[in-house]
Amino acid sequence: MESENKLREMYDRLIDYYSVITIEPKATVDRMISLKMREGLTREEAICKLYSEIFPYRHVGLKTPLKRDLEEALRSLRAESYEAGTSVGLAIVSMLILMFFMLAPPFAAIISLVLFPILFFAIAYSSSRRTFWSFSEDIIVEGAGNYLSEIIKETPNVFQKLTLQNISYEVSENVLNIKLNLEKTIVERSRSFSGGDDGFTVTVGSTTATKLVDIGYFNIKAEFTRRNGDLVVKARYEGNPPPAYGSLAAEAYEKTIVAFRTAVRESYEKLKPRKIMAIDFVKLAELISSSGIVLKAVKCPNCGANIDLPEKGDTVKCPYCGAVVRAIDVYKMIKDLMKEIKL
């Protein structure tokens, strides 16, 4: 009985949600449930899955949240765009019909005058309304656990270069928060008709104009953790697009999320050689001794004299000619020598 009440609560809330973007919310919800049932789900499972897509972190008594992939999350956003466009189109048609009835007998004209402003404000509200969208995922970078602190600092810089967007970000402990505002340029086409002097000739003209659409804010909250030597990034993405531009928002969100994934991985690739370059003679001694080799001195690459290796630091100077030998150079020399021995 309790589960039935929770299911009814989810179903009613879905209808309330779609009531602001479509004139037939119940039919819309039933249609979306039917589409999911065609995938092999029961009606109860279909309602739960649809509810989790619309309200991903507002479950009603669900024991485990249902996960979804990015394509599925974006599909629900595009569906809202379609529903919003249909609602506005029907409202405009209704306004045209009311304008016709305004010319009818007084009773119909009075009703039309009352309903006309209601439809007008409904269209204005639908155009200005914004919806909430979110998606969560885990990004795993193998072998990058030891680079956590460096990657979390480098990721925003790489992300900004990839997106070419102005971003603001902050790092608190191992959590990275990125905020940006997304915009999209669209091309609008319109046609104009004009009659000729003879009353029969019709001239058709077309114009194009570009329009900058504000898709709204986009937030990324990423928690960086280590797991068995790997780097695990628990990322959550949030946006507030206007439903009328849901398809544009879906396209922009997909590019932004892919850019963030790439930024995390590129930061690791960028930092790997830097980590090796930071080797000093203490680390060098540890690496060599782990292979059972004891190295006390090397030949100067300039004069050939023996140079005793220091116990610390990352450089040593030849006492004879003054040439500087770096720990990384010694490491590369030993590494190349080991490769030749294996061959």
What average pLDDT does this structure show over 218-230?
A: 94
- Least trusted range by pLDDT, from 7-16, 90-99, 135-144, 159-168: 90-99
What does the pLDDT read at residue 237? 94
What average pLDDT does this structure show over 56-63?
A: 42
**Whole-angstrom distance, CA of residue 231 vs CA of residue 271:** 14
* Non-local CB neighbours of 163 within 8 Å, separated by 6+ positions: 180, 255, 256, 259
Is it the case that residue 65 has pLDDT exceeding 50? no
The pLDDT tens digits of the residues spanning 272-301 come to 765 555 666 777 777 777 777 777 788 887
The pLDDT tens digits of the residues spanning 105-149 come to 554 455 555 555 554 554 454 555 667 888 899 999 988 898 999
Taken in order 287, 290, 293, 297, is the CA torsion positive or negative? positive
Q: H or E element: which one contains 159?
A: helix 148-163
The pLDDT tens digits of the residues spanning 150-194 come to 999 999 999 999 998 889 999 998 999 999 998 877 665 655 545
Question: Where residue 312 falls among pLDDT bands split at 50, 70, 90?
Answer: confident
What does the pLDDT read at residue 153? 94
Domains of the chain: 2-128 (no CATH), 133-272 (3.30.530), 281-342 (no CATH)
For 281, how many CA atoms within 13 A lie in the half-sphere containing its CB? Answer: 16
Question: Where residue 64 falls among pLDDT bands split at 50, 70, 90?
Answer: very low
Query: DSSP string spanning 287-300?
Result: HHHTTT----EEE-
What does the pLDDT read at residue 263? 93
SS (H, E, C) 71-118: HHHHHHHHHHHHHHHHHHHHHHHHHHHHHHHCCCCHHHHHHHHHHHHH
Using alpha carbons only, how large is the chain's radius of gyration in Å?
32
Is it the case that residue 4 has pLDDT exceeding 80? no
